[in-house]
């Protein structure tokens, strides 16, 4: 009997070990669908860390358009998806492709602890929450060429009005201060919607901005009208825009950093979002050749309009929910942030910004999280609105406005109301 006890369990253990080595032990696998994106290799490293923590395998499947891919494919073989806008989240939820995250988000108070309610509201339907946010990026930025910028001591960044007044004076002297290439094929006009959103939020505050994004305020409303007038003054003041207003809709936006940093051009300021970074030629360095500053306030300080990445559940199981919890945690992105070229900005307010190994990304992190703390961060309204409006009619509005000039504002806003 003692010999039996002595040898039985070691033999069983040895046999099971041999069987696993022959057959192979496959841990559970989670497949995540998402877009191709800048710094994807760093994101995959973060997924490897989660895989190790949870003792699972995670596969990332990059597709051209995750939203349509989910709609068009019945056999997804995936549990999680990254969706780069709230329009896509609510569209998928309304079609029945997503599972609610309320138990993960509300009962655990996860989301309420890490960012303001606004970011939950825009991915919710009737109090059912369908996404959490992983990354956020600011739109409300002004980029500048340092060498040209330093030539003008009279630039005033105290507020938006002071800045525009000082750049008008520069324009009056024969120097064109603003680079504004914005042509983007069928999407031309989207950058101007960013400008309008910056103005609406800072001039009128979050309440009016939220009504605008929900289309519960008309385009012809006086608050929206005067916001457009500010854009009008910026665009059409003589000699204010490099190559004139027409360049806004005829010159490729991806060339904007080259235009700004080319010594042959006089323009040295650009009202552009985080995306500007993607197109800066490698030979230029932040802090030496170019800099960035948050868009000065119009009325309300610390407002920031931005975009981000949402994570959603497309197959409900506990392992997938555990992965989402890890992605939304304050630890996610730590390795990513350690790289010198990192652009990762966590949506989680508990993320340790000291880990960020890039001065420019630290600056962007600071302005995003400062606005989040005051509930003054708002998501890009054109990506909250129904897509035919935010990603079509508004773009066309600005293209027509730039073509037809200041006199067209009232007519075009009334037309926009009728179409909405």
pLDDT at residue 255, rounded to an integer: 97
Positions of the chain with pLDDT under 70: 1-25, 105-113
Q: Are residues 172 and 235 in the same domain?
A: yes
Q: Are residues 162 and 227 in the same domain?
A: yes
Q: Are residues 181 and 241 in the same domain?
A: yes
In a domain, 204, yes or no: yes
Question: Which residues, 6+ apart, have CB-to-CB distance to 94 below 8 Å?
Answer: 125
Q: Are residues 340 and 393 in the same domain?
A: no
> Would you give the end-to-end CA distance of the chain in angstroms?
85
The pLDDT tens digits of the residues spanning 295-344 come to 999 999 999 999 999 999 999 999 999 999 999 999 999 999 999 999 99
Q: Are residues 195 and 217 in the same domain?
A: yes
- Residues 63 and 46: their CA atoms lie apart, in Å, by 19
In a domain, 74, yes or no: yes
pLDDT at residue 105, rounded to an integer: 65
Return the CATH number at 257. Answer: 3.40.190.10
Half-sphere exposure of residue 294, counting CA atoms within 13 Å on the CB side? 26
pLDDT at residue 113, rounded to an integer: 65
pLDDT at residue 16, rounded to an integer: 45
In a domain, 9, yes or no: no
In a domain, 12, yes or no: no
- Residues 179 and 144: their CA atoms lie apart, in Å, by 9
Q: Are residues 292 and 356 in the same domain?
A: no
The pLDDT tens digits of the residues spanning 161-193 come to 999 999 999 999 999 999 999 999 999 999 999
In a domain, 19, yes or no: no
* CA 119 centroid distance within chain: 12
In a domain, 63, yes or no: yes
Q: Are residues 391 and 271 in the same domain?
A: yes
Burial of 143 (0-12, 13-18, 19+ CB in 10 A): buried
Range of the domain at 159: 141-302+386-419
In a domain, 6, yes or no: no
- Residues 231 and 227: their CA atoms lie apart, in Å, by 7
pLDDT at residue 102, rounded to an integer: 86
Q: Are residues 248 and 356 in the same domain?
A: no
In a domain, 289, yes or no: yes
DSSP of 234-297, one letter per residue? HHHSTT-BTT-THHHHHSBGGGHHHHHH-TT----EEE--GGGGGGS-TT--BTTTEEEEEPPP
Residue 93, both tokens: 């939820």
Q: Are residues 270 and 210 in the same domain?
A: yes
Q: Are residues 183 and 254 in the same domain?
A: yes
360, 364, 319, 321: which is closest to 104 by C-alpha? 321
pLDDT at residue 106, rounded to an integer: 58
Instruction: Report the number of distinct structural domains present in the chain.
Output: 2
Q: Are residues 345 and 414 in the same domain?
A: no
pLDDT at residue 45, rounded to an integer: 98
The pLDDT tens digits of the residues spanning 130-144 come to 999 999 999 999 999
Q: Are residues 237 and 318 in the same domain?
A: no
Q: Are strands 57-63 and 29-35 parallel, antiparallel or unpaired?
A: parallel
pLDDT at residue 4, rounded to an integer: 47
């Amino acid at each position: 009997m003692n010999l039996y006890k002595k040898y039985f369990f070691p033999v069983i253990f040895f046999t099971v070990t041999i069987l696993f080595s022959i057959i192979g032990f496959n841990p559970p696998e989670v497949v995540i669908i998402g877009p191709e994106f800048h710094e994807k290799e760093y994101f995959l490293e973060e997924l490897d860390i989660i895989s190790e923590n949870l003792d699972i395998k995670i596969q990332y499947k990059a597709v051209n358009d995750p939203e349509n891919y989910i709609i068009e494919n019945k056999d997804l073989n995936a549990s999680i998806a990254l969706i780069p806008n709230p329009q896509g989240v609510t569209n998928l939820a309304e079609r029945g492709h997503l599972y609610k995250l309320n138990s993960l988000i509300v009962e655990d108070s996860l989301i309420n602890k890490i960012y303001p309610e606004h970011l939950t509201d825009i991915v919710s339907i009737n109090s059912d929450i369908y996404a959490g946010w992983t990354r956020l990026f600011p739109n409300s930025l002004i980029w500048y060429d340092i060498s040209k910028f330093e030539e003008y001591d009279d630039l005033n960044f105290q507020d938006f009005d002071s800045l525009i007044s000082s750049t008008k004076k520069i324009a009056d002297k024969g120097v064109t201060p603003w680079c504004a290439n914005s042509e983007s094929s069928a999407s031309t006009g989207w950058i101007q919607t960013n400008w309008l959103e910056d103005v609406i939020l800072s001039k009128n505050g979050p309440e009016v901005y939220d009504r605008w994004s929900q289309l519960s305020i008309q385009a012809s409303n006086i608050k929206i009208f005067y916001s457009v007038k500010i854009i009008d003054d910026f665009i059409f003041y003589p000699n204010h825009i490099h190559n004139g207003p027409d360049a806004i809709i005829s010159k490729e936006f991806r060339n904007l950093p080259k235009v700004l940093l080319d010594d042959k051009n006089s323009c040295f300021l650009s009202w552009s979002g985080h995306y500007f970074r993607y197109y800066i030629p490698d030979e230029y360095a932040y802090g030496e050749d170019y800099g960035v500053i948050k868009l000065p306030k119009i009325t309300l300080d610390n407002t920031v309009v931005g975009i981000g990445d949402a994570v959603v559940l497309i197959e409900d199981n506990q392992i997938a929910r555990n992965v989402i919890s890890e992605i939304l945690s304050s630890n996610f992105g730590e390795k990513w942030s350690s790289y010198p070229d990192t652009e990762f900005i966590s949506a989680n307010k508990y993320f340790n910004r000291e880990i960020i190994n890039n001065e420019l990304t630290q600056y962007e992190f600071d302005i995003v999280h400062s606005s989040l703390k005051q509930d003054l961060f708002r998501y890009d309204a054109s990506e909250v609105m129904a897509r035919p409006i935010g990603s079509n009619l508004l773009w066309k509005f600005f293209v027509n406005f730039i073509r037809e000039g200041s006199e067209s504002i009232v007519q075009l806003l009334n037309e926009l109301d009728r179409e909405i």
